Protein backbone atom coordinates (compact mmCIF):
# COMPACT_ATOMS: atom_id res chain seq x y z
CA UNK A 1 0.00 0.00 0.00
CA UNK A 2 1.22 3.50 -0.80
CA UNK A 3 -0.04 7.04 -1.27
CA UNK A 4 -1.69 6.14 -4.56
CA UNK A 5 -3.73 3.35 -3.01
CA UNK A 6 -4.51 4.74 0.43
CA UNK A 7 -5.48 8.38 -0.15
CA UNK A 8 -9.00 9.17 -1.28
CA UNK A 9 -9.41 11.18 -4.47
CA UNK A 10 -10.90 14.09 -2.54
CA UNK A 11 -7.90 14.31 -0.22
CA UNK A 12 -5.42 14.13 -3.06
CA UNK A 13 -7.21 16.85 -5.00
CA UNK A 14 -7.39 19.05 -1.93
CA UNK A 15 -3.66 18.87 -1.24
CA UNK A 16 -1.66 18.12 -4.38
CA UNK A 17 -2.03 20.39 -7.42
CA UNK A 18 -5.04 19.06 -9.32
CA UNK A 19 -3.11 18.95 -12.58
CA UNK A 20 -0.67 16.38 -11.21
CA UNK A 21 -0.94 12.80 -12.49
CA UNK A 22 0.42 11.02 -9.42
CA UNK A 23 0.70 7.66 -11.17
CA UNK A 24 2.78 9.23 -13.94
CA UNK A 25 4.92 11.10 -11.40
CA UNK A 26 5.49 7.87 -9.48
CA UNK A 27 6.72 6.31 -12.72
CA UNK A 28 9.25 9.12 -13.13
CA UNK A 29 10.49 8.36 -9.62
CA UNK A 30 11.68 4.97 -10.87
CA UNK A 31 14.35 6.64 -13.04
CA UNK A 32 17.77 7.06 -11.46
CA UNK A 33 21.46 7.63 -12.14
CA UNK A 34 22.70 8.51 -15.61
CA UNK A 35 19.23 7.85 -17.04
CA UNK A 36 18.31 11.31 -15.79
CA UNK A 37 20.67 12.72 -18.44
CA UNK A 38 18.92 11.07 -21.39
CA UNK A 39 17.85 14.00 -23.56
CA UNK A 40 14.16 14.52 -24.10
CA UNK A 41 12.63 15.91 -27.28
CA UNK A 42 11.61 19.16 -25.56
CA UNK A 43 15.06 19.89 -24.09
CA UNK A 44 17.11 22.67 -25.61
CA UNK A 45 20.10 21.28 -27.49
CA UNK A 46 22.18 23.52 -25.22
CA UNK A 47 20.69 22.32 -21.92
CA UNK A 48 22.84 20.08 -19.72
CA UNK A 49 22.27 18.50 -16.29
CA UNK A 50 25.52 18.22 -14.30
CA UNK A 51 26.02 15.88 -11.34
CA UNK A 52 28.06 17.14 -8.36
CA UNK A 53 29.58 14.65 -5.93
CA UNK A 54 29.21 16.81 -2.84
CA UNK A 55 27.95 20.19 -1.64
CA UNK A 56 31.40 21.77 -1.83
CA UNK A 57 31.67 20.93 -5.54
CA UNK A 58 28.10 22.12 -6.08
CA UNK A 59 28.78 25.54 -4.55
CA UNK A 60 32.03 25.99 -6.50
CA UNK A 61 30.55 24.90 -9.84
CA UNK A 62 27.52 27.18 -9.54
CA UNK A 63 29.58 30.10 -8.27
CA UNK A 64 32.03 29.68 -11.14
CA UNK A 65 29.18 29.59 -13.67
CA UNK A 66 27.71 32.82 -12.31
CA UNK A 67 31.11 34.53 -12.25
CA UNK A 68 31.88 33.32 -15.78
CA UNK A 69 28.66 34.82 -17.16
CA UNK A 70 29.51 38.16 -15.51
CA UNK A 71 33.11 38.05 -16.70
CA UNK A 72 32.21 37.12 -20.28
CA UNK A 73 29.63 39.90 -20.49
CA UNK A 74 32.27 42.38 -19.32
CA UNK A 75 34.76 41.11 -21.92
CA UNK A 76 32.11 41.33 -24.65
CA UNK A 77 31.19 44.88 -23.69
CA UNK A 78 27.53 44.12 -23.02
CA UNK A 79 25.21 44.61 -20.06
CA UNK A 80 24.00 41.56 -18.17
CA UNK A 81 20.60 41.17 -16.54
CA UNK A 82 20.56 38.44 -13.90
CA UNK A 83 17.47 37.07 -12.17
CA UNK A 84 18.83 35.90 -8.83
CA UNK A 85 17.49 33.61 -6.08
CA UNK A 86 18.01 33.37 -2.36
CA UNK A 87 18.55 29.63 -2.32
CA UNK A 88 20.84 28.02 -3.20
CA UNK A 89 23.18 30.41 -1.37
CA UNK A 90 26.66 28.82 -1.06
CA UNK A 91 27.34 29.68 -4.71
CA UNK A 92 27.52 33.40 -3.98
CA UNK A 93 30.64 33.04 -1.83
CA UNK A 94 32.43 31.43 -4.76
CA UNK A 95 31.06 33.86 -7.33
CA UNK A 96 32.53 36.65 -5.20
CA UNK A 97 35.83 34.75 -4.92
CA UNK A 98 36.25 34.26 -8.67
CA UNK A 99 35.16 37.79 -9.58
CA UNK A 100 37.58 39.20 -7.02
CA UNK A 101 40.44 37.01 -8.24
CA UNK A 102 39.76 38.00 -11.84
CA UNK A 103 39.25 41.66 -10.82
CA UNK A 104 35.96 41.90 -12.73
CA UNK A 105 34.12 45.19 -12.29
CA UNK A 106 30.38 44.40 -12.04
CA UNK A 107 29.09 47.84 -13.04
CA UNK A 108 27.54 46.24 -16.16
CA UNK A 109 25.38 43.85 -14.11
CA UNK A 110 21.71 44.48 -13.34
CA UNK A 111 20.43 42.20 -10.57
CA UNK A 112 16.76 41.24 -10.25
CA UNK A 113 15.90 39.28 -7.13
CA UNK A 114 13.26 36.78 -8.17
CA UNK A 115 11.11 36.84 -5.04
CA UNK A 116 10.56 38.12 -1.50
CA UNK A 117 8.42 37.15 1.48
CA UNK A 118 5.26 39.26 1.75
CA UNK A 119 1.76 39.46 3.13
CA UNK A 120 -1.33 38.96 0.98
CA UNK A 121 -1.11 42.56 -0.27
CA UNK A 122 2.54 42.31 -1.29
CA UNK A 123 3.99 44.24 1.64
CA UNK A 124 7.46 42.95 2.52
CA UNK A 125 9.83 42.80 5.48
CA UNK A 126 12.17 45.76 6.10
CA UNK A 127 15.46 45.42 4.22
CA UNK A 128 17.40 45.15 7.49
CA UNK A 129 15.34 42.18 8.72
CA UNK A 130 17.51 39.05 8.75
CA UNK A 131 14.67 37.05 7.19
CA UNK A 132 14.36 39.33 4.16
CA UNK A 133 15.80 38.15 0.86
CA UNK A 134 17.12 41.65 0.21
CA UNK A 135 19.13 41.40 3.45
CA UNK A 136 20.47 37.99 2.41
CA UNK A 137 21.59 39.21 -1.03
CA UNK A 138 23.36 42.27 0.34
CA UNK A 139 25.18 40.13 2.88
CA UNK A 140 26.08 37.21 0.60
CA UNK A 141 26.80 38.87 -2.76
CA UNK A 142 26.61 42.62 -3.20
CA UNK A 143 28.42 43.54 0.01
CA UNK A 144 31.37 41.10 -0.25
CA UNK A 145 32.13 42.26 -3.81
CA UNK A 146 33.37 45.54 -2.34
CA UNK A 147 34.50 48.09 -4.92
CA UNK A 148 33.73 45.64 -7.74
CA UNK A 149 30.06 45.40 -6.78
CA UNK A 150 26.86 45.99 -8.73
CA UNK A 151 25.78 49.67 -8.46
CA UNK A 152 22.99 50.15 -5.94
CA UNK A 153 20.64 51.61 -8.53
CA UNK A 154 21.03 48.40 -10.56
CA UNK A 155 20.03 46.09 -7.70
CA UNK A 156 16.35 45.27 -7.98
CA UNK A 157 14.39 43.58 -5.22
CA UNK A 158 10.91 42.07 -5.44
CA UNK A 159 9.20 44.85 -3.52
CA UNK A 160 5.63 45.99 -4.05
CA UNK A 161 6.69 49.24 -5.72
CA UNK A 162 9.45 47.70 -7.85
CA UNK A 163 8.56 44.15 -8.92
CA UNK A 164 5.89 45.34 -11.41
CA UNK A 165 8.61 47.29 -13.27
CA UNK A 166 10.87 44.27 -13.83
CA UNK A 167 9.36 43.43 -17.20
CA UNK A 168 9.93 46.84 -18.75
CA UNK A 169 13.40 47.17 -17.24
CA UNK A 170 14.52 43.79 -18.58
CA UNK A 171 12.92 44.50 -21.97
CA UNK A 172 14.81 47.79 -22.21
CA UNK A 173 18.10 46.10 -21.32
CA UNK A 174 17.60 43.32 -23.85
CA UNK A 175 16.71 45.88 -26.53
CA UNK A 176 20.13 47.43 -25.93
CA UNK A 177 21.86 44.06 -26.33
CA UNK A 178 21.95 42.78 -22.76
CA UNK A 179 21.83 39.07 -22.08
CA UNK A 180 19.30 37.71 -19.55
CA UNK A 181 20.47 34.89 -17.27
CA UNK A 182 18.19 33.29 -14.70
CA UNK A 183 19.75 31.57 -11.71
CA UNK A 184 17.31 29.34 -9.86
CA UNK A 185 16.56 26.51 -7.50
CA UNK A 186 13.62 24.11 -7.83
CA UNK A 187 10.93 23.98 -5.15
CA UNK A 188 9.41 20.92 -3.50
CA UNK A 189 6.32 21.33 -5.69
CA UNK A 190 8.49 22.34 -8.66
CA UNK A 191 8.04 26.08 -8.51
CA UNK A 192 10.51 28.52 -10.08
CA UNK A 193 10.90 31.51 -7.78
CA UNK A 194 7.58 31.35 -5.89
CA UNK A 195 5.55 30.80 -9.06
CA UNK A 196 3.51 27.88 -7.73
CA UNK A 197 1.91 25.01 -9.69
CA UNK A 198 -1.65 25.73 -8.52
CA UNK A 199 -1.58 29.08 -10.36
CA UNK A 200 -2.07 27.04 -13.55
CA UNK A 201 -5.79 26.67 -12.79
CA UNK A 202 -6.30 30.41 -13.35
CA UNK A 203 -5.36 30.42 -17.04
CA UNK A 204 -7.19 29.16 -20.11
CA UNK A 205 -4.05 28.29 -22.05
CA UNK A 206 -0.32 27.69 -21.73
CA UNK A 207 0.25 30.80 -23.84
CA UNK A 208 -1.69 32.94 -21.36
CA UNK A 209 0.22 31.41 -18.44
CA UNK A 210 3.53 32.19 -20.17
CA UNK A 211 2.69 35.89 -20.36
CA UNK A 212 2.56 36.40 -16.58
CA UNK A 213 5.55 38.49 -15.50
CA UNK A 214 4.97 38.65 -11.75
CA UNK A 215 2.59 38.36 -8.83
CA UNK A 216 2.29 40.36 -5.61
CA UNK A 217 1.20 38.48 -2.50
CA UNK A 218 1.26 35.07 -4.18
CA UNK A 219 -0.37 32.38 -2.02
CA UNK A 220 2.16 29.63 -1.33
CA UNK A 221 1.51 25.90 -1.46
CA UNK A 222 1.60 24.10 1.93
CA UNK A 223 4.57 22.00 0.81
CA UNK A 224 6.44 25.18 -0.12
CA UNK A 225 5.82 26.52 3.37
CA UNK A 226 7.02 23.29 4.97
CA UNK A 227 10.08 23.12 2.69
CA UNK A 228 11.12 26.56 3.85
CA UNK A 229 10.36 25.71 7.47
CA UNK A 230 12.96 22.93 7.19
CA UNK A 231 15.56 24.74 5.10
CA UNK A 232 15.36 28.32 6.39
CA UNK A 233 13.41 28.49 9.64
CA UNK A 234 14.93 25.61 11.65
CA UNK A 235 11.59 23.70 11.48
CA UNK A 236 9.52 26.59 12.90
CA UNK A 237 6.61 26.41 10.47
CA UNK A 238 4.73 29.16 12.30
CA UNK A 239 7.35 31.73 11.24
CA UNK A 240 7.14 31.02 7.51
CA UNK A 241 5.11 33.61 5.56
CA UNK A 242 2.18 32.18 3.61
CA UNK A 243 2.63 34.71 0.79
CA UNK A 244 5.43 36.08 -1.37
CA UNK A 245 6.09 38.48 -4.24
CA UNK A 246 7.48 36.60 -7.21
CA UNK A 247 8.45 36.80 -10.85
CA UNK A 248 6.50 34.64 -13.29
CA UNK A 249 7.10 32.67 -16.49
CA UNK A 250 6.76 35.88 -18.51
CA UNK A 251 10.24 36.75 -17.20
CA UNK A 252 12.13 33.51 -16.54
CA UNK A 253 11.12 32.00 -19.90
CA UNK A 254 12.75 35.00 -21.64
CA UNK A 255 16.16 33.83 -20.40
CA UNK A 256 18.98 33.59 -22.90
CA UNK A 257 20.67 31.17 -20.52
CA UNK A 258 19.94 29.50 -17.19
CA UNK A 259 21.98 28.33 -14.20
CA UNK A 260 19.99 25.95 -12.01
CA UNK A 261 20.77 24.14 -8.80
CA UNK A 262 19.33 21.27 -6.71
CA UNK A 263 21.08 20.69 -3.39
CA UNK A 264 18.13 19.43 -1.32
CA UNK A 265 19.72 16.82 0.95
CA UNK A 266 19.76 16.69 4.74
CA UNK A 267 22.44 14.06 5.44
CA UNK A 268 21.90 10.54 6.85
CA UNK A 269 20.27 9.57 3.57
CA UNK A 270 17.47 12.13 3.90
CA UNK A 271 16.47 14.48 1.09
CA UNK A 272 13.54 16.47 -0.27
CA UNK A 273 14.46 17.27 -3.87
CA UNK A 274 14.95 13.95 -5.66
CA UNK A 275 11.40 13.70 -6.99
CA UNK A 276 11.30 17.41 -7.85
CA UNK A 277 14.49 16.95 -9.90
CA UNK A 278 12.96 14.07 -11.86
CA UNK A 279 9.71 15.92 -12.50
CA UNK A 280 11.70 18.90 -13.80
CA UNK A 281 13.87 16.85 -16.16
CA UNK A 282 11.57 14.06 -17.28
CA UNK A 283 8.02 15.44 -17.36
CA UNK A 284 6.76 17.17 -20.50
CA UNK A 285 6.49 20.93 -19.98
CA UNK A 286 3.26 21.87 -18.22
CA UNK A 287 2.17 24.91 -16.18
CA UNK A 288 1.27 22.45 -13.42
CA UNK A 289 5.01 21.75 -13.06
CA UNK A 290 6.66 25.15 -13.67
CA UNK A 291 10.21 23.79 -13.45
CA UNK A 292 9.48 21.38 -16.33
CA UNK A 293 9.97 24.34 -18.69
CA UNK A 294 13.56 25.00 -17.61
CA UNK A 295 15.18 22.25 -19.74
CA UNK A 296 13.65 23.94 -22.79
CA UNK A 297 16.16 26.77 -22.27
CA UNK A 298 19.94 26.78 -22.89
CA UNK A 299 22.08 26.36 -19.81
CA UNK A 300 23.00 24.02 -16.98
CA UNK A 301 21.30 22.40 -14.02
CA UNK A 302 23.71 21.37 -11.28
CA UNK A 303 22.50 18.77 -8.79
CA UNK A 304 23.92 16.67 -5.96
CA UNK A 305 24.54 13.11 -7.15
CA UNK A 306 22.73 11.78 -4.08
CA UNK A 307 19.49 13.12 -5.53
CA UNK A 308 19.87 10.79 -8.52
CA UNK A 309 20.13 7.67 -6.38
CA UNK A 310 17.11 5.32 -6.38
CA UNK A 311 14.16 6.80 -4.50
CA UNK A 312 13.37 3.86 -2.24
CA UNK A 313 12.17 3.66 1.35
CA UNK A 314 15.00 3.85 3.88
CA UNK A 315 14.05 4.48 7.51
CA UNK A 316 16.45 6.89 9.21
pTM value?
A: 0.95
User: With contact defined as beta carbons under 8 Å apart, do 133 and 117 qualify?
Assistant: yes
Structural domain contains residue 19? no
Taking alpha carbons only, the member of 55, 38, 85, 28 closest to residue 302 is 55
Q: Could you report the per-residue pLDDT of 215-270, keeping only the tens digit for each?
A: 999 999 999 999 999 999 999 999 999 999 999 999 999 999 999 999 999 988 89
What ranges make up the beta strands (E) of 158-213? 179-185
CB atoms within 10 A of CB 158: 28
Structural domain contains residue 288? yes
Print the domain residue range for 297: 46-308
Domain count, the chain: 1
pLDDT score for 250 = 98
With 0-12 CB in 10 A as exposed, 13-18 as middle and 19+ as buried, what is 219? middle
Q: Domain containing 141 — which CATH number?
A: 3.40.50.1360
Structural domain contains residue 270? yes
pLDDT > 90 fraction of the chain, expressed in percent and rounded: 91
What ranges make up the beta strands (E) of 68-162? 80-84, 109-113, 115-118, 155-156
Q: Which residues pair with 89 in a beta bridge?
A: none
Q: Could you report the per-residue pLDDT of 84-112, keeping only the tens digit for each?
A: 999 899 999 999 999 999 999 999 999 99
Largest CA distance in the chain: 60
User: With contact defined as beta carbons under 8 Å apart, do 163 and 188 qualify?
Assistant: no
Structural domain contains residue 5? no
Q: Which residue has the higher pLDDT, 54 or 130?
A: 54
Amino acid sequence: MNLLTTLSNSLMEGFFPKGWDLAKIDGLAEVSGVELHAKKSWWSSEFQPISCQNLSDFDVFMGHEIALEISNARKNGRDLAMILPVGPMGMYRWAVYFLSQWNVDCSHVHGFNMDEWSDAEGNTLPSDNSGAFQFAMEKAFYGPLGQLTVPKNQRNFALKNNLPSYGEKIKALKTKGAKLVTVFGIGRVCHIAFWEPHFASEFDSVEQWKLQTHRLGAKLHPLTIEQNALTSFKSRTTLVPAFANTIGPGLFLQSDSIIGGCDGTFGRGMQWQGLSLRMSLLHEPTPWIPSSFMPTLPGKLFYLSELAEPLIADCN
